Amino acid sequence: MAPVTKEQIEQALARVMDPELKRNLVGLGMVRNIQIRNTQVRFTLALTFPACPLKDQIVAEARAAVQALDGVEEVEVDLTEMTAEEKQRIGLGGLEQPSVAERFNHIRHVIAVMSGKGGVGKSLVASLLAVSFRRDRQEVGVLDADITGPSIPKLFGLEEKPGGGPLCIFPAVSASGIKVISINLLLPSEDEAVIWRGPLISSVIKQFWSDVAWGELDWLVVDLPPGTSDAALTVMQSLPLSGVVLVSSPQDLAGMVVRKAARMAQKMQIPLLGLVENMSYFVCPDSGRKYEVFGPSQGEEMARRLGVPFLGQIPLDPNISRLCDEGNIELVPTEAFAPIARRLKEMAGEPRRSPIQPR
């Protein structure tokens, strides 16, 4: 059997249509870097927008078209994004201007939740903030900017893929009415790995801000990935943040890396709204005695050193863990967390005009 050729692969992919643009992938210039090694084929698809809701359909149809060729046993598809010039060439240059979603979104306050390292409960704090705001009858959204380690959909029990088209993406809506967008809602399964480089991750975060139909929101809570890499930088440069909430835990290591995150926010001239310490203690249900499992609390001292308010502590609570695992974070009692949310409401200041709003 003769080996498959590049021309045969291009002919097969030319029969695959972009479902939104109604043109074939080759004609759109989406196919590039075809590599053939014995019975293995690898190529790259340049998407118009990385978070396109129909991305999985396009990839699946392209893979199936090549897989059907004689002599092909394995197909790998890499993803990238078209440049602005390439989008202009196929008639999408207008999408570089304010989109339909941008013209109708109005978001009063944007708060980013940040930590220096993973595992300190940043997503938990972001979600509890959203739940607390919502219980106060506020309109709330959550933007999951942790592209490679998204957990927000799991906490809210969301599985249905967002709808949308070439002009905008509609966020998923939780049981209590919190709007959520996350890359995990756009993947074939929640276990699918996102293996992307920084520029593509940054592009998706920008799209989650500008191309999602958020509508009228009092609060948009942004769950940042740990550290001070591209994703955090993109959020700080691209979104009109009212401020950053820092999350730490009692360990010395967590404190050290949180200070790095704080320095980043300060260098970017983003207001530090305060520090929340998670996993501060555990209350024994039998005796009512408080145990500092991870050592003495350092939250107040760390906040003092950073010159920011200490917003409060969150204990280790098996009930909270259970509800989060079940996707029922909206059932978590927030009486202990409500004072933190109230302080943030007081500190957020005047509503900020989004840079995407028409002048």
> Beta-strand (E) ranges in the chain?
31-37, 40-47, 74-81, 106-114, 140-144, 172-173, 179-181, 216-223, 243-248, 272-283, 290-291, 310-316
- The secondary element (H helix, E strand) that includes residue 90 is none
Asked if pLDDT for residue 98 goes beyond 60, the answer is: no
Tokens of residue 214, six digits: 């958020």
Cβ-based burial of 112 (10 A; exposed 0-12, middle 13-18, buried ≥19): buried
Q: Note whether 15 and 8 are within 8 A (CB).
A: no
Per mean pLDDT, which range of 12-16, 181-185, 301-305 is the poorest? 301-305
- Average pLDDT of span 215-241: 87
Q: Considering only CA atoms, which of 99, 169, 102, 181 is closest in space to residue 140? A: 181
Q: Global pTM?
A: 0.72
Tokens of residue 219, six digits: 């609060």
What secondary structure letter does DSSP report for 164?
B
Q: Considering only CA atoms, which of 118, 119, 120 is closest in space to residue 280? A: 120
Listed ranges 98-102, 254-258, 265-269, 327-331; the one with the highest mean pLDDT = 327-331
Identify the band that residue 306 occupies on the pLDDT scale cut at 50, 70 and 90.
confident
How many Å apart are CA 227 and CA 260, to the nearest integer? 8
CA atoms within 13 A on the CB side of 291: 11
Identify the band that residue 95 occupies on the pLDDT scale cut at 50, 70 and 90.
very low
For 350, other C-beta atoms within 10 Å of its C-beta total: 8
- Average pLDDT of span 301-323: 89
Cβ-based burial of 122 (10 A; exposed 0-12, middle 13-18, buried ≥19): buried
Asked if pLDDT for residue 348 goes beyond 90, the answer is: no
Q: What type of residue is 322?
A: R
Per mean pLDDT, which range of 6-15, 153-162, 188-197 is the poorest? 188-197
What percentage of residues in the chain have a pLDDT greater than 70? Answer: 90
Report residue 191 CA to chain centroid gap. Answer: 15
- Average pLDDT of span 186-197: 77
Asked if pLDDT for residue 86 goes beyond 50, the answer is: yes
Identify the band that residue 152 occupies on the pLDDT scale cut at 50, 70 and 90.
very high
Mean pLDDT of the chain: 85
- Average pLDDT of span 193-205: 80
How many Å apart are CA 231 and CA 233, to the nearest integer? 5
Identify the band that residue 355 occupies on the pLDDT scale cut at 50, 70 and 90.
very low
**How much is the pLDDT for 141?**
97
Local structure of 115: helix, strand or coil:
coil
Asked if pLDDT for residue 263 goes beyond 70, the answer is: yes
Phi, psi of 291 (to 5 degrees): -120, 130
Asked if pLDDT for residue 165 goes beyond 80, the answer is: no
**179-181 and 216-223 as β-strands: parallel, antiparallel, unpaired?**
unpaired
Between 202 and 110, name the one with better pLDDT: 110
Tokens of residue 285, six digits: 């249900």
Helices (H) and strands (E) in the chain, counts: 12, 12
Ordered domains of the chain (ranges, CATH) = 6-92 (3.30.300.130), 101-347 (3.40.50.300)
- The secondary element (H helix, E strand) that includes residue 330 is none
Asked if pLDDT for residue 354 goes beyond 50, the answer is: no
DSSP 46-85: EESSTT-TTHHHHHHHHHHHHHTSTT--EEEEEEEE--HH
The label of the residue with tokens 């380690």 reads: 149
The label of the residue with tokens 């940042």 reads: 224
Asked if pLDDT for residue 357 goes beyond 50, the answer is: no
**How much is the pLDDT for 305?**
87
Tokens of residue 142, six digits: 């959550």
